[in-house]
Chain A
Amino acid sequence: MPARSPRLVTGLLIVVLAPLLAISILSLFSGVNAVETIYWVFWGGFSPTQIPETMLRATPILITSFGLSLAYLARIWNIGSEGQILLGAIATAWIGLHLGGLGVIGVIVSTIFGGLCGALWASIPGLLRAYRGANEVFSTLMMNYLALYLASYLLQGPLRSPTSLFPETATLSRDLWVEPLIPGTRVNAFVLLSPALIAPATYILVARSTLGIKLRVIGEGAEKARYFGIDAGKAIVATMFLSGFLAGIAGSTEVLGIHHRALPSISQGYGYLAIPVAVIASLEPRLILPLSIYLGGVVNGVEVAQMNLSIPSGASYIIQGILLIASLPMAMRR
């Protein structure tokens, strides 16, 4: 079992409370009662009618944080998931537009292709860290901005649907849509499959596998890794590749299951929200599912609160930044 410590409890408390505190303070700026804001956040996130939408948002957070938690075991601090999700989504939509009529095979191929593009994007900072010693927090952040501009270029230029008013790709052919399983909601197979697969997979890999031990050894430094016969450079790139692959898959599920095309706002900060989840999950893997659902609900609820109380948008960026500072340094401390 991974070491448990008071810092897990403290970290968990901070991750749970920080977003609520942030949105309360922001609502005070706009002259809205903080209690009312919190009420709407919880109503918008966790009331029975809202649960399906919350599950929808929890899915990419869950998938992404699984990959990140493995990277964090190896003490590789990838914060570039947001860009990897975005490019994975665009790649899925691009190849999907060529795979119409293939049905399930098309879905599988385009999902994997999205994952691969996310993985390739993540490999660049992986290579820079492994062979040039470039700090991966800094480089993955730069890669996020580059992904944003690249996506904007692709969606306004070569990949833009000629018939759409917005910068987005054309809609995928109907047989590639992963349709809702529960009538009246958008809950699709990805939303149901990922908790069933990923929650136990995280537990097994983090707490009960030799891979988990190997990753921890890599985190102890190149020298120690070499002593155990692990090439640290290769391992770092492989770890980045894996976490990028999962982020890319998260992007694919958004395209195939929900939007059926790629658009610039396809990731609502899921890549950043996955960071605190992954930090906690690398300490206590059983918390990955509840925490993903919680943050999915908070994002959903914040949006509902913003609409109902006319609070300006932009709160989510602040919440993401605060969660980053609240969680990552805790994992980095030895």
Chain B
Amino acid sequence: MDLPSISGFIGSLLAISTPILLIASLELLVQRSGVINLGVEGAMLVGAFTAYVVTLYTSSPLLGLLSAIALGSLVSILFAIMAVYMRLDQIVVGVSISMVSIGLTSYLYRLIVGYGSPPKIQSTLIDALAPFLRSIPIAGDTLFQTPLTPISLALPIAFWLLLGRSLVGAIIKASGEDPSRACRLGVNVAMVRTILLALEGIASGAAGALLSIGYYGSFLENMTAGRGYLAVALVILSSWSPARLLPTVLIFSLIEVAQLRLQASGIIEIPYQLALSMPYIFTLAILAISSGGKKAPRSLGSSEYEC
């Protein structure tokens, strides 16, 4: 392979890994604090939809991104109210929020756009953010389509440091391992979890915006298609370690790139349904392999604790 095609390959690899890495990094912190949030699928979809509609009406992709971040964190805070404060089952709350998000975005999309083919937005997030990227050294805008990509690569490293060597990291881990004890020592466990969830909502909203107004230029019903669930599963597969998360996500993105290239080359014919169901298949396979891992935060999935 010559140099341009290698950089093209890495570019598409990073394009695929960025949204998943953004969500998975924050989901890792959230899970380390004892919460499993399947609502990220919904937050991502709401982000994708909001970014599209706002950009369509204001022609400003940056405004689209900001609104996606706002609504993404709103969805996440809704999850926190039900799962952290009302102590409803985390998995059921996450699944329900994602289902309602699919329905609500499809409904509002039909209401706003109707049943015809969707209008494409004029200028994408990638166009809007290009000037920033030129300032990044080492082939900024050939590898990184938006600043979200270098951020997504930096997050696992930052969180590795955060969890390993800071008081905040210790508080997060304590909330996930023994919330009752953490609470008795003066940690506001519910608040720790809620703040992390709100941050995860920001990441999910941004990841969704990247799909709709970054890569695709439009919105499709259920366009996140299981990527949020996959991000949750990849956290489990990497045994809740930020150091393992980065390579794990990159390997899965590599598989996806290979699959897309194979499909485009026409060497073997893959039914499009199989390609679309990949995130769900991987998620299920990871659940089968890694469930009940000994390294899981001890109170993961349970919102019950005493103080």
Q: Are A and B part of the same complex?
A: yes
Interface residues of A (CB under 8 A from B): 26, 29-30, 77, 79, 128, 132-135, 137-139, 141-143, 145-146, 149-150, 152-153, 156-157, 272, 312-322, 324-325, 328-329, 332
Chain A contacts for B100, CB-based, 8 A: 317-318, 321-322, 325
Contact of B111 among A312, A321, A322, A328 (CB under 8 A): A312
Smallest CB-CB separation from A144: which chain B residue? B280
Interface string of B257-295 (1 = CB under 8 A from A): 000000000000001011011001101100111011000
24 pairs, A vs B, C-beta closer than 8 Å:
A30-B111, A128-B284, A128-B287, A132-B288, A135-B287, A137-B89, A137-B91, A137-B92, A138-B229, A141-B95, A142-B229, A145-B280, A146-B284, A153-B271, A153-B273, A313-B110, A316-B103, A318-B100, A320-B99, A322-B100, A325-B88, A325-B93, A329-B89, A332-B89
Q: Is the CB of A146 within 8 A of B107?
A: no
Complex CA distance for A149 and B279, rounded to whole angstroms: 12
Chain B contacts for A79, CB-based, 8 A: 95
Q: Is B197 on the interface with A (CB-CB < 8 A)?
A: no
Q: Is the CB of A324 within 8 A of B92?
A: yes
Known A-B contacts A132-B291, A133-B291, A325-B96; A139 and B103 likewise in contact (beta carbons under 8 Å): no
Chain B contacts for A320, CB-based, 8 A: 99, 103
- List the 3 closest A-B pairs by CB distance, nearest first: A317-B103, A321-B99, A133-B292
Chain A contacts for B111, CB-based, 8 A: 29-30, 312
Q: Is the CB of B92 within 8 A of A314?
A: no
Q: Is the CB of A142 within 8 A of B287?
A: yes
Q: Is the CB of B287 within 8 A of A317?
A: no
Known: A132-B289, A329-B89. 8 other contacts (CB 8 A): A132-B292, A138-B91, A142-B226, A146-B277, A272-B99, A317-B100, A318-B99, A325-B93
State the main secondary structure of chain A at its contact with B. Answer: helix
Q: Is the CB of A149 within 8 A of B287?
A: no
Cβ distance B87 to chain A, nearest Cβ, rounded Å: 9
Among B82, B99, B100, B229, residue most surrounded by chain A Cβ atoms (within 10 Å):
B99
Chain A contacts for B110, CB-based, 8 A: 312-314
Give the bracket for the number of chain B residues in contact with chain A. Answer: 35 or more
Known A-B contacts A149-B277, A317-B106, A324-B92; A139 and B99 likewise in contact (beta carbons under 8 Å): no
Quick one: which of B165-224 are within 8 Å of A by CB?
none
Chain A contacts for B158, CB-based, 8 A: none
Interface string of B107-122 (1 = CB under 8 A from A): 1101100000000000
Chain B contacts for A77, CB-based, 8 A: 92
Smallest CB-CB separation from B115: which chain A residue? A312
Q: Is B74 on the interface with A (CB-CB < 8 A)?
A: no
Chain B contacts for A132, CB-based, 8 A: 287-289, 291-292
Known A-B contacts A132-B292, A312-B110; A137 and B95 likewise in contact (beta carbons under 8 Å): yes
Cβ distance A50 to chain B, nearest Cβ, rounded Å: 24
Q: Is B97 on the interface with A (CB-CB < 8 A)?
A: yes
Cβ distance A129 to chain B, nearest Cβ, rounded Å: 9
Among B38, B111, B283, B287, residue most surrounded by chain A Cβ atoms (within 10 Å):
B287
Chain A contacts for B271, CB-based, 8 A: 153, 157
Cβ distance B84 to chain A, nearest Cβ, rounded Å: 13
Chain B contacts for A318, CB-based, 8 A: 99-100, 103-104, 107
Complex CA distance for A133 and B294, rounded to whole angstroms: 12
Contact of B92 among A139, A153, A313, A328 (CB under 8 A): A328
Interface string of B54-70 (1 = CB under 8 A from A): 00000000000000000
Chain B contacts for A143, CB-based, 8 A: 284
Q: Is the CB of A134 within 8 A of B89?
A: no
Complex CA distance for A139 and B276, rounded to whole angstroms: 17
Q: Is the CB of B287 within 8 A of A134?
A: yes
Chain B contacts for A146, CB-based, 8 A: 277, 280-281, 284
Known A-B contacts A153-B271, A157-B271, A314-B103; A328 and B288 likewise in contact (beta carbons under 8 Å): no
Smallest CB-CB separation from B289: which chain A residue? A132
Complex CA distance for A313 and B114, rounded to whole angstroms: 11
Q: Is the CB of A26 within 8 A of B89?
A: no
Complex CA distance for A137 and B99, rounded to whole angstroms: 13
Q: Is the CB of A324 within 8 A of B96?
A: yes
Cβ distance B143 to chain A, nearest Cβ, rounded Å: 32
Q: Is the CB of B108 within 8 A of A29?
A: yes
Complex CA distance for A318 and B96, rounded to whole angstroms: 9
Chain B contacts for A329, CB-based, 8 A: 88-89, 92-93
Complex CA distance for A137 and B88, rounded to whole angstroms: 14
Q: Is the CB of B97 within 8 A of A314?
A: no
Contact of A149 among B103, B108, B276, B292 (CB under 8 A): B276
Q: Is the CB of B284 within 8 A of A142?
A: yes
Smallest CB-CB separation from B276: which chain A residue? A149
Contact of B226 among A128, A145, A314, A321 (CB under 8 A): A145
Q: Is B245 on the interface with A (CB-CB < 8 A)?
A: no
Q: Is B246 on the interface with A (CB-CB < 8 A)?
A: no
Smallest CB-CB separation from A329: which chain B residue? B88
Q: Is the CB of A315 within 8 A of B107?
A: yes
Smallest CB-CB separation from A30: which chain B residue? B111
Q: Is the CB of A139 within 8 A of B287?
A: yes
Q: Is B102 on the interface with A (CB-CB < 8 A)?
A: yes
Cβ distance A141 to chain B, nearest Cβ, rounded Å: 6
